[in-house]
């Protein structure tokens, strides 16, 4: 409904005959007037969101107002910033007056660990090194200005620092051809061919952005190159397909493994190409694996909420597995948001059906959101209300919008470095199965997203005992089955210290592993791939709490993949192996519905 339609509906009489006879048009009730007014607000905010990328202008304005007002009332902080600027300027002037023979690169400031924009050897050349150091000094000064200001709320200070950093990252000398020595060297080596290749890369990306056909062939096809582990779809409802994978060993673990991925990702993140597939790895080691494949929702699914995902997702899958393998407890595993959903379902099942879960594994999954990293910059009352209004019109949060938010958290690596490599250097990163999966995103329904943001991120109801299931609050202290929990060192979505908070909430034996890598690459860590490391430490339920810093000091360091550690954990909490059943069947005993990977994973 448009604004004009709402206004027309408000003004139009209900009965033309009564008006013609001299009667007056009926007056809207107070409830109808409020509903129409809110509809207008929804529409206006949704229109604004198209121009702001989903960011709330009010949220940004409030954060900068908080910072500016406190800065204006803090003469000491302003003096400190002025003295820092003078000191840095004086040292910079002395640096650029140094004779070339005595020049020392990175004399004043060097890039932070993980900042690879200036890591090339050519950035040590005096002219380019001076530009890079000037930029880094400015970056340092703005960070000092945006942080450490007494009286500014922590959230607003973080928003200001984040926005300023985004602006500075866009203006970095590495982003421009004339100030990037690597681009200039590539130009000289190729005779300018890098710009021609970059132009073709840009045109190809434009074709993809505007819905055209890319000139690049598909590198990884679902069901052919990825998601190829042999299995059957044994159960389907309006929200999930449940895939059971065929055994490849003579004997198998009697307790099946259920994998619950996040609904904002295709499940095959855990079944990539054969050498990178966690599911294939587990099947080859004698585990009977089931995986949920979520349906990609559309605008018609706007009213699907968190409880629908719990009932039609996790609980429906557990019920189906109980029919296929009666009398066997389940090793339940949740990844990212799927882990959060699993924790809720597992706590509820502990009360209703104790013993139905043999163990619970959480992979990069949070249950307490007080330290949820930079994602919380997008989560405050103003921002959540703005997102709700935007999704109220569309019915879903589009995949591109979610991807954009995650890219902003690592804009250097995921935006600017890519633009320089693709368009200025004229190169393309070699495609990988993980990159292909990352581009195959899903949508999120309006109600689900609102429930998740408000109840979990904004209000932290789950950790604080206010999250209700069927009218009864869920207590994470009801999690009593042995737990295996994985965090990753460089996780920008679920920081490992936040994941570690499960120790404060669950009343269970917890084996916590901290893997190298990030949110995805740290979880997809096949043993055949070199370079993986992890730390691991088990805490019994009756042992004292170990904080994250103390945990780092105590946990054993191990080379290799945490996958092997997980196999050891599951084996220790399983019964004796039994002969495998070669034929797969549906819960009712009939034939499977179709071959894996099924239909839902192919939806766009």
Per-residue model confidence as pLDDT tens digits over 326-362: 999 999 999 999 999 999 999 999 888 888 999 999 9
Highest mean predicted confidence (pLDDT) among 26-40, 152-166, 200-214, 475-489: 475-489
464 or 49, which is more confident: 464
Q: For residue 270, what pLDDT band results from cuts at 50, 70 and 90? A: very high
Query: Which of 360, 299, 330, 337 lies closest to 508 in space, CA to CA?
Result: 360
**Type and span of the H or E element at 568:** helix 562-572
Cα three-residue angle 363-364-366, rounded to 5 degrees = 110
Token match 């557990």: residue? Answer: 318
* Burial of residue 500 (number of CB atoms within 10 Å: 0-12, 13-18, 19+): buried
Are residues 401 and 387 in contact, defined by beta-carbon separation less than 8 angstroms?
no
Burial letters for 217-242: b for 16+ Cβ neighbours within 10 Å, e otherwise? eeebebeeebbbbebbbbbbeebbbb
Instruction: Please state the domain extents for the chain.
Output: 3-52, 58-185, 231-398+443-602
Check residue 594 and give its pLDDT.
96
Dump strand ranges (E) for 240-350: 240-245, 251-252, 257-260, 289-294, 330-335
195 to 199, 350, 427: CA distances (angstroms): 6, 61, 10
Cross-strand pairs, 55? none
473 to 348, 465, 592: CA distances (angstroms): 9, 6, 37
449 or 74, which is more confident: 74
Check residue 78 and give its pLDDT.
96
241 to 250, 293, 363, 369, 583: CA distances (angstroms): 27, 5, 21, 29, 19
Check residue 409 and give its pLDDT.
67
406 or 58, which is more confident: 58
- The pair of structure tokens assigned to 319 is 């019920």
294 or 52, which is more confident: 294
Q: For residue 582, what pLDDT band results from cuts at 50, 70 and 90? A: confident
Check residue 103 and give its pLDDT.
81
**Type and span of the H or E element at 44:** helix 30-52
Q: Is 336 tagged catalytic? A: yes
Cα three-residue angle 106-126-119, rounded to 5 degrees = 50
231-398+443-602 CATH fold: Rossmann fold (3.40.50)
Cross-strand pairs, 360? 332, 483
Check residue 211 and give its pLDDT.
67
123 to 134, 189, 198, 539: CA distances (angstroms): 13, 17, 22, 47
Check residue 22 and give its pLDDT.
45
Check residue 388 and give its pLDDT.
78
CA distance 18 to 5: 22
Check residue 402 and give its pLDDT.
66
Dump strand ranges (E) for 519-590: 533-539, 556-559, 578-579
Q: What confidence tens digit (pLDDT) does each residue in 356-395 have? A: 999 999 999 999 999 887 777 777 788 787 777 777 777 8
The one-character DSSP state at 256 is: -
Q: What confidence tens digit (pLDDT) does each residue in 477-513 have? A: 999 999 999 999 999 889 999 999 999 999 999 999 9
Q: For residue 13, what pLDDT band results from cuts at 50, 70 and 90? A: very low
Residue 48 pLDDT > 90: no
Query: Which of 27, 35, 28 lies closest to 1 in space, CA to CA?
Result: 35
CA distance 287 to 386: 45
Token match 């959101």: residue? Answer: 369
Check residue 408 and give its pLDDT.
67
**Mean pLDDT score, 576-603:** 92
Token match 């990988």: residue? Answer: 432
pLDDT, the chain, mean = 88
Q: Which phi and psi angles does 247 have, rounded to 5°?
A: -70, 150
Percent of the chain with pLDDT over 90: 66
Are residues 445 and 301 in contact, defined by beta-carbon separation less than 8 angstroms?
yes
Are residues 70 and 150 in contact, defined by beta-carbon separation less than 8 angstroms?
yes
Check residue 8 and give its pLDDT.
42
| Segment among 94-103, 435-444, 470-479 with least mean pLDDT | 94-103
Residues constituting the chain: 604
**Type and span of the H or E element at 483:** strand 483-488
Check residue 26 and give its pLDDT.
55
Beta strand 483-488 with 357-363 is parallel
Q: Which 3-state string (H, E, C) describes 117-144?
A: CCCCHHHHCHHHHHHHHHHHHHHHHHHH
Token match 């407890």: residue? Answer: 329
Check residue 31 and give its pLDDT.
65
Residue 25 pLDDT > 60: no
**Mean pLDDT score, 593-599:** 96
Residue 529 pLDDT > 60: yes
**Mean pLDDT score, 259-283:** 95
- Active-site pick, 167, 253, 336, 356: 336
Check residue 2 and give its pLDDT.
39
**Mean pLDDT score, 16-21:** 42
Check residue 17 and give its pLDDT.
43
* Burial of residue 153 (number of CB atoms within 10 Å: 0-12, 13-18, 19+): middle
Check residue 27 and give its pLDDT.
56
């Amino acid at each position: 409904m448009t604004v004009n339609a709402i206004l027309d509906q408000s003004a139009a009489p209900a009965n033309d005959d009564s008006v013609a006879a001299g009667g007056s048009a009926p007056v809207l009730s107070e409830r109808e007037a409020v509903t129409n007014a809110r509809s207008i607000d929804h529409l206006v905010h949704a229109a604004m969101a198209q121009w702001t990328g989903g960011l709330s202008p009010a949220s940004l304005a409030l954060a900068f107002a908080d910072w500016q007002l406190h800065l204006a009332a803090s003469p000491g902080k302003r003096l400190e910033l002025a003295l820092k600027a003078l000191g840095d300027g004086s040292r910079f002037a002395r640096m650029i007056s140094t004779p070339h023979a005595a020049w020392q690169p990175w004399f004043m400031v060097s890039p932070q660990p993980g900042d690879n924009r200036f890591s090339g050897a050519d950035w040590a050349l005096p002219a380019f090194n001076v530009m890079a150091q000037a930029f880094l000094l400015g970056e340092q000064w703005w960070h000092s200005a945006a942080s450490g200001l007494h009286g500014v709320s922590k959230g607003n200070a973080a928003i200001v620092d984040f926005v300023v950093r985004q602006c500075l990252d866009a203006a970095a000398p590495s982003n421009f051809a004339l100030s990037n020595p690597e681009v200039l060297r590539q130009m000289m080596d190729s005779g300018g061919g890098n710009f021609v290749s970059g132009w073709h890369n840009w045109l190809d990306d434009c074709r993809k952005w505007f819905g055209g056909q890319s000139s690049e062939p598909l590198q990884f096809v679902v069901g052919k190159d990825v998601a190829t582990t042999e299995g059957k779809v044994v159960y389907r409802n309006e929200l999930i397909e449940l895939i059971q994978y065929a055994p490849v060993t003579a004997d198998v673990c009697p307790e099946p493994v259920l994998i619950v991925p996040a609904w904002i990702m295709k499940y095959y993140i855990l079944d990539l190409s054969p050498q990178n597939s966690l599911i294939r790895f587990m099947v080859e080691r004698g585990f009977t694996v089931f995986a949920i494949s979520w349906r990609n929702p559309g605008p018609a699914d706007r009213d699907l909420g968190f409880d629908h995902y719990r009932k039609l997702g996790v609980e429906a899958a557990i019920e189906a597995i109980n029919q296929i393998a009666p009398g066997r407890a389940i090793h339940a595993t949740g990844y990212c948001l799927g882990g959060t959903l699993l924790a809720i379902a597992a706590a509820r099942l502990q009360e209703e059906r104790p013993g139905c879960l043999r163990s619970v594994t959480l992979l990069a999954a949070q249950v307490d959101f007080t330290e949820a990293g930079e994602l919380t910059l997008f989560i405050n009352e103003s921002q959540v209300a703005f997102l709700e209004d935007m999704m109220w019109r569309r019915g879903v949060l589009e995949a591109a919008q979610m991807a954009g938010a995650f890219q902003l958290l690592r804009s250097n690596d995921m935006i600017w470095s890519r633009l320089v490599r693709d368009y200025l250097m004229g190169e393309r990163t070699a495609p990988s199965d993980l990159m292909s999966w990352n581009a195959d995103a899903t949508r999120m329904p309006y109600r689900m997203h609102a429930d998740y943001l408000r109840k979990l991120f904004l209000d932290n109801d789950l950790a604080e005992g206010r999250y209700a299931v069927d009218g009864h609050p869920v207590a994470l202290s009801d999690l009593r089955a042995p737990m295996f929990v994985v965090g990753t060192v460089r996780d920008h979505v679920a920081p490992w210290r936040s994941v570690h908070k499960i120790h404060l909430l669950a009343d269970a034996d917890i084996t916590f592993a901290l893997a190298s890598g990030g949110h995805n690459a740290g979880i997809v860590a096949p043993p055949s791939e070199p370079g993986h490391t992890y730390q691991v430490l088990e805490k019994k339920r009756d042992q004292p709490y170990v904080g994250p810093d103390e945990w780092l000091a105590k946990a054993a360091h191990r080379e290799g993949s945490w996958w092997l550690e997980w196999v050891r954990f599951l084996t220790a909490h399983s019964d004796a192996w039994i002969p495998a059943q070669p034929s797969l069947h549906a819960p009712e005993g009939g034939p499977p519905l179709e071959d894996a990977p099924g239909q839902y994973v192919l939806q766009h």
